[in-house]
Chain A
Amino acid sequence: MRVAWFGRLVAVMGLTVVASIAAQTPSAKQTASSAPASNAETGHKLYTSIGCWQCHGYEGQGGAAGPRLAGRLAPFAVFSMYVRRPANQMPPYTEKVVSDTDLAHVYAFLQSRPAPPPVESIPLLQK
Chain B
Amino acid sequence: MARKHSADRRRFLRGAAVTGAAALVPDRVAAAAAQVPAGAPSPHAQRPTPAAVRETDPHVEVEPLTTDRPGGDFMVDVLKSLDLEYVASNPGSSFRGIHESIINYGNNRMPEFLTCCHEESAVAMAQGYFKAEGKPMAALVHGTVGLQHAAMAIYNAYCDRVPVYVLAGNTVDATMRRPGVEWAHSVQDAGVMVRDFLKWDDQPVSLPHFAESAVRAYKIAMTPPMMPVMLVIDSGIQEDPIAPDVASRLRVPKLTRPAPPQGEAGAVTEAARLLVNAQNPVIVADRTARTPAGIARLAELAETLQAPVIDQRGRMNFPSRHPLNQSDGGRQLIANADVVLGLELTDFWGTVSAFRDSLHRSSRSIVKPGTKLISITTVDLFVKSNFQDFQRYPEVDVAIAADAEATLPALTEACRKLVTDDRRRAFEERRRSLEQAHARAREASRSEAAYAWDASPISTARLAAEIWAQVRNDDWSLVSESGNTSGWVYRLWDFDKHYHHLGDAGGAGVGYGAPAAVGGALANKKHGRLSVNIQGDGDLLYAPGVLWTAAHHRIPLLTVMHNNRAYHQEVMHIQRMANRHNRGITRANIGTTIADPNVDFAKIAQGMGVHAEGPITNPNDLGPAIQRALVVVRRGEPALVDVVTQPR
Which of A's residues lie within 8 Å of B, judged by CB? 1-10, 12-13, 16, 49-51, 53-55, 57-65, 68, 70-71, 88-89, 91-94, 96-98, 116-119, 122, 124-125, 127
Contacts and interface: CB of A to CB of B under 8 A. Distances in A.
Interface in B109-161: 152
B72 interface: no
B466 interface: yes
B74 interface: no
Contacts of B582: 94, 96-97
Contacts of A58: 452, 455, 457, 646-647
B509 A3 contact: yes
B455 A1 contact: no
A50 B461 CA distance: 24
Contact of B450 (A60, A94, A122): A122
A66 B537 CA distance: 21
A8 B312 contact: yes
B568 interface: yes
B331 interface: yes
Contacts of A122: 450, 453, 465
B487 interface: yes
Given A49-B586, A61-B459, A68 B450 contact: no
B568 to A, nearest CB: 7
B63 to A, nearest CB: 45
Contacts of B646: 57-59, 61, 63
A36 to B, nearest CB: 20
- By secondary structure, the A interface counts as loop
A51 B486 contact: no
Nearest to B351: A9
Contacts of A88: 356
B591 to A, nearest CB: 12
A27 to B, nearest CB: 16
B189 interface: no
B107 interface: no
A71 B451 contact: yes
B569 interface: yes
B450 to A, nearest CB: 4
5 contacts: A51-B586, A61-B452, A124-B468, A127-B465, A127-B469
Contacts of A9: 347, 350-351, 353-355
Given A51-B588, A57-B646, A65-B572, A125 B451 contact: no
A47 B484 CA distance: 22
Contacts of B578: 91
Interface in B313-332: 330-332
A9 B365 CA distance: 13
A91 B452 contact: no
B508 A70 contact: no
A13 to B, nearest CB: 5
Central interface residue in B351, B567, B579, B588, by most chain A CB within 10 Å:
B579
A89 B572 CA distance: 11
Given A1-B509, A125-B465, 7 more contacts: A3-B508, A12-B331, A16-B331, A51-B571, A57-B452, A61-B459, A63-B460
Contacts of A59: 451-452, 455, 459, 646
Interface string B350-376: 110111110000000000000000000
Contact of A64 (B353, B484, B570, B585): B484
Given A64-B486, A92-B580, A125-B450, A5 B508 contact: yes
B630 to A, nearest CB: 16
A86 B332 CA distance: 20
B448 interface: yes
Contacts of B459: 57, 59, 61
Interface string B442-460: 0000111111111101011
Nearest to A86: B358
B347 A7 contact: yes
B354 A13 contact: yes
B576 interface: yes
Contact of B572 (A55, A60, A71, A127): A55
Nearest to B574: A51
A53 B455 CA distance: 13
A49 B459 CA distance: 19
A118 B575 CA distance: 34
